[in-house]
């Protein structure tokens, strides 16, 4: 099935994604999710406490916390937007 896209001066014909390409993309996503899960589990195995430094308005922090929760990985959250003195400690560590 073809899809038509309106261009600046003409109509451009673009093919839609085949079901085979869509399945391939889904397989890649599953593999990446498995790799990420194994990465977090490996970290968790060697670190007794996983600490996540967050800010309340950070979307990446929220995604990380959601992923850790979905993988049943316990973590300690330190919100640096509420405790700014932690920032200086992080600067000293790095």
* Full-model pTM: 0.51
Per-residue pLDDT tens digits for 18-76: 666 677 778 887 888 888 777 777 776 776 678 899 998 999 999 889 988 887 878 89
Question: Quick one: residue 57, left, alpha or beta (phi over 0 = left, psi -120 to 50 = alpha)?
Answer: alpha
Q: Same structural domain for residues 51 and 93?
A: yes
Whether residue 9 is predicted with pLDDT greater than 80 in this model: the reply is no
Q: Same structural domain for residues 75 and 63?
A: yes
Residue 46 or residue 4, greater confidence? 46
Q: Same structural domain for residues 28 and 57?
A: no
Q: Of 46, 61, 77, which residue is a domain's last? A: 46
Q: Same structural domain for residues 57 and 31?
A: no
Q: What pLDDT does 49 receive?
A: 74
Q: How far apart are CA 1 and CA 16, in angstroms?
A: 7
Q: Same structural domain for residues 56 and 35?
A: no
Judging by DSSP bridges, how do beta strands 11-15 and 2-6 pair with one another?
A: antiparallel
Q: Domains in the chain: how many in total? A: 2
């Amino acid at each position: 099935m073809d899809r038509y896209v309106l261009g600046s001066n003409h109509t451009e014909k673009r093919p839609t994604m085949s079901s085979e390409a869509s399945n391939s993309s889904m397989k890649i996503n599953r593999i990446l999710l498995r790799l990420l899960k194994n990465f977090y589990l490996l970290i968790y195995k060697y670190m007794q406490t996983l600490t996540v430094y967050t800010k309340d308005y950070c979307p990446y922090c929220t995604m990380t916390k959601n992923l850790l929760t979905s993988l049943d990985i316990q973590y300690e959250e330190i919100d640096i937007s509420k405790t700014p003195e932690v920032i200086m400690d992080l600067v000293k560590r790095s």
